[in-house]
Amino acid sequence: MKHGILGHSAARCVAAIALALFVGGTPRVHAQDEPKLVPDVVDFQKLIPLLPEAPSGWSAEKAEGSTTDAGGAKVTTVHRDYKNGEADNAPTTSISILDSAANPEFVSATTGGWNMTQTTTEGYAKSLNIDGQPGFETFENDGKHGSLWLLVAKRYLVQIETQGQDSKALQEWLTRLDLKKLAAIK
């Protein structure tokens, strides 16, 4: 299968690289008398309520979450999948939120490539700014696959992936998230 600008493979590769940098980044080791400079990640239980309920006509799987400490590299993630219908090719959406507060290098690595815009016959990739929050959006015309990433409060990486929907669906799903409430969680 041919992939567009940042198709499934590339988009997943970007996410995998960023996550590898996050988990494999420099561990934060502090002596007892050294001040802790980086805040802890929040517990996943605080983020799960922010994952929206399914819109009318859609179903939602149970929200999942975890908070992990892998040798000093902490990460909290929550995720929920949505589907419109029962057919194998029914439109789907997945929403994930990752708390990256414990690793500023992850934020830099993730957002570093977001300063580009490209449009082709296959789709587009573009940087975003939503209420002062930086983001990036890609869409492939073939398969109608879209991805949107938004960095909220310089710590929460929101990712929305759509399949079988028009590009405007990415922004519509984003409006279902309370970004102000997310930004306020510490």
Write out pLDDT tens, residues 41-82: 999 999 999 999 999 999 999 999 999 887 777 889 999 999
Whether 31 shows a pLDDT value over 80: the answer reads: no
Residue in the structure block whose two tokens are 């296959």: 122
Could you please state the CATH topology (level 3) that the domain comprising 8-26+38-184 is classified under.
Protein Transport Mog1p; Chain A (3.40.1000)
Confidence of residue 100 (pLDDT cuts 50, 70, 90): confident
Check if the beta carbon of residue 20 is closer than 8 Å to that of residue 12.
no
The alpha-helical segments, DSSP class H, found in the chain are 8-24, 44-47, 104-111, 168-174, 179-184
87's tokens: 């057919």
Residue 116 contacts residue 107 (beta carbons within 8 Å):
no
Give the separation between CA 77 and CA 75, rounded to whole angstroms. Answer: 7
pTM score above 0.85: no
**Cβ neighbours of residue 165 closer than 8 Å, sequence gap 6 or more:** 91, 93, 144, 146
